[in-house]
Amino acid sequence: MGRLIIASNRTATPGADRAGGLAVALSDALAERGGVWFGWSGDILERETRGVRLFVEDNTDFALADLTTQEYEGYYLGFANRALWPVFHYRVDLAHFDEQDFATYEDVNRRFGRLLAQLTRPDDIVWIHDYHFLLMGQEMRQSGWDGPMGFFLHIPFPPPEVFSALPQHQRLARGLCAHDLIGFQTARDTANFRRYLVDICAGEPVGEDCVRVFDRMVRLRAFPIGTDPDDIAALAAGTEGAQAAARLERVSASRALVIGVDRMDYSKGLPQRMAAFGRLLDDHAELHGKVSFLQIAPPSREAVDAYQALRVELDGLAGKINGDYADLDWVPIRYLARNYPRGALSGLYRLAQVGLVTPLHDGMNLVAKEFVAAQTLEDPGVLVLSELAGAAEQMQGAILVNPHDIAGTADAIHRALSMPVEERRERWAVLDAAIRAEDLSWWRLSFLKALETVREPVA
């Protein structure tokens, strides 16, 4: 069995704790078989540096490459986050299409692909991650790498008519199809890309999950990413989780708690969510002073205009709702634009009666799964989940809502707050079984198994 070669935009830091499920999953995969973790170092320099910096931790080599200021602005802030991110999240109206940004994106993928190809051995397998590196695999092929190579997209893949809004959509699709296996979060995302290849690129479906296109055979499959339920439960019961919950309880005066935890991103439906909570207070005067909404939303990509506008909108919405309804001893919305560690978040999930996860579109959304994992059978909270989140395909025990339906989401929150404990336990048992059946280890192992056998004949 050869080594595993992983490429992701950001890597874990050698010697540091692995923050988040993906870093843990990839670290475990590398620890099992050895290999290389390649990606951007996080450093931005004025001039390009040649090659990579290598660090060794146990049987994993970390290979880190720098970006120049121009590359960071064109590749990362520009094409990746001003074009790909909005289009893949169905927000063509927010996309900025710039030829120079794409040229820089292409150049970075070319440079990184060549660097990574130099680190491979003939019996390795390569696993490339996410929208930052849609063209890297093709560059590796052109640099001579001919071994098994897979790609996993962590964000949604839109329908063909939306993806085609990108001026370079066929170039990107051809680059993706340099891989033997392309993994998506959901069956919907997989079907969208399959339809694009067949309808737009004259691809020929072969068997259940393959398409012959661009003179290659490409396998397309859904691998919904999971979390580690036992780890989240332990964090919720641990010191950090208990302390965070105790701090909030001191000021909440035993009020019912609704919680949302998201990056501050327009794909997360935060304005609609706040509006729904405001509608709940409009419609149910009996809840005044008896329920609070905690929204944790650390800022992200603050250099992008759309994110700056979102911050202003959220500040205004939270202020208006609190101004309309707050009392001397009650603040309806506690809105915190900062990060909290996973242990603290797990404790807050366990304290909450309702988990409000209502993105407008999301690849998966692990917050939904972490909220469920943090609950207890004795008194579980209720998950209110957007039907447009990838997690909705697996989590049928949640109350599913259309996040654009403000009144409907408000009604769902009210239903969750008033749900009898017997129904809450039944729903939680269904959700818990789902997140355990396809957890983080299942995701990693199933993708790698499929990649290792991808060149076997198609039935």
Distance between CA atoms of 369 and 373, rounded to whole angstroms?
A: 6
* Greatest extent of the chain over all pairs of C-alpha atoms, in Å: 70
Write out the two tokens for 16: 């540091």
Distance between CA atoms of 138 and 126, rounded to whole angstroms?
A: 12
Distances (CA, A) of 223 to 10, 49, 219, 322, 400: 21, 36, 12, 41, 21
For residue 63, list its beta bridge partners.
38, 54
CB neighbour list of residue 209: distance below 8 Å, 6 or more residues apart: 190, 219, 220, 221
Write out the two tokens for 346: 């797990």
Write out the two tokens for 312: 């202003």
Return the closest-CA partner of residue 209 out of 382, 450, 452.
Answer: 450
Distance between CA atoms of 374 and 236, rounded to whole angstroms?
A: 6
Distance between CA atoms of 62 and 49, rounded to whole angstroms?
A: 17
- Whether 134 and 109 have beta carbons less than 8 Å apart is answered as yes
The one-character DSSP state at 72 is I
CA 281 from centroid of its chain's CA atoms:
31
Return the closest-CA partner of residue 432 out of 400, 390, 396.
Answer: 396
Residue 126's φ and ψ, nearest 5 degrees, are: -115, 135
Distance between CA atoms of 375 and 426, rounded to whole angstroms?
A: 13
Cβ neighbours, 10 Å, residue 21 = 22
Distance between CA atoms of 424 and 416, rounded to whole angstroms?
A: 8
Catalytic site positions: 154, 362
Distance between CA atoms of 78 and 92, rounded to whole angstroms?
A: 15
